[in-house]
Amino acid sequence: MEILPQVQEVLTYIQSVNVAHINDKVQASRARYERLIPLAGAQEAVFSVEDKTTRFPDREIGIRIYRPSGKKSLPAVVFFHGGGFFKGSLETHDRPLRQLANLSGVVIISVDYRLAPEYPFPHGLNDCIDTTEWIINHAAELNIDSHRIAVAGDSAGGALATSVAGKLDNIVCQVLIYPATDSSLTTPSWRALAEGPILTLKSAVELWDYYTEDKISAAPIFNNDLSGMPDAFIITAEYDPVRDEGIAYAEKLRHANVQVTEKRYPKMIHGFFQMGGVIDQGKEVIAAVADYIRYKLLR
């Protein structure tokens, strides 16, 4: 494995993060993840950024709306952040999503779904489905085009995004950035990269345990009815243990006659979508996602 200098810089930074003062393991992991925000680079200015609360009979879910311009009825991408289903927030993905809004020219809406283990599967997924449906139904109020809506997510967020895409009929496309699709953790890339970098087999077992006891229902790869799913853009990284499950899921979508575009980044690691302030490919992947979104939603 050839570790590029920029990747090594990221790994050194991550190793320097000290959360030893936090005794609770889950809270410590969440705090560590939040401290990786600077790896995304500077916080870009966006035409407007608005925090809003979506209200349901039994809960409230926060969203953050990034508008790249004052144009009316723009398309929108509903984004679900990664973090192993148990960490991550509107803040952890704020900087890459600002960049994505500016580059794509469409509205990006980030969803602050509830996290495991406090809210195990299917709570977080239901939050994502219900909030996306709310966004579609309130498109006029949000000044977006209800007929040009996509979903996207990274890692665990990729699993949530494709699950949402399978539940709602009017999603144009799905963007899955190194998605976590297989809870069995038995692919060749998991065997070869069990010690990481970034994501280890031990930590993956823990996060799936935090998330659910019903790992078959929660993992998209075990969904045997993918017919009618929207077109997909699936991104994988060479040095990422979830690489092969992303590739396998792409193939399963193709067998269901879904149009799939794939892009694999050589020598890249899990999480590089959030590391564009240090790793050049982190900027490149945001640009690639923006290109795909423009092609699907703005043509």
The CA distance from 90 to 64, in Å, is: 7
> Which of helix, strand or coil describes residue 85?
coil
Q: Is 57 left (phi over 0), alpha (psi -120 to 50) or beta?
A: alpha
15: CB partners within 8 A, 6+ apart? none
The CA distance from 284 to 222, in Å, is: 31
Choosing from 94, 112, 240, 244, the catalytic residue is 240
**Residue 270 designated active-site:** yes
DSSP states of 182-204 as a string? -TT--SHHHHHTTT-SSS-HHHH
Choosing from 29, 155, 163, 183, the catalytic residue is 155
Q: Count CA within 13 A, CB hemisphere, residue 143.
A: 12
**Residue 240 designated active-site:** yes
| Sole residue written with tokens 């149009």 | 259
Q: Which residues does the annotation mark as catalytic?
A: 155, 240, 270
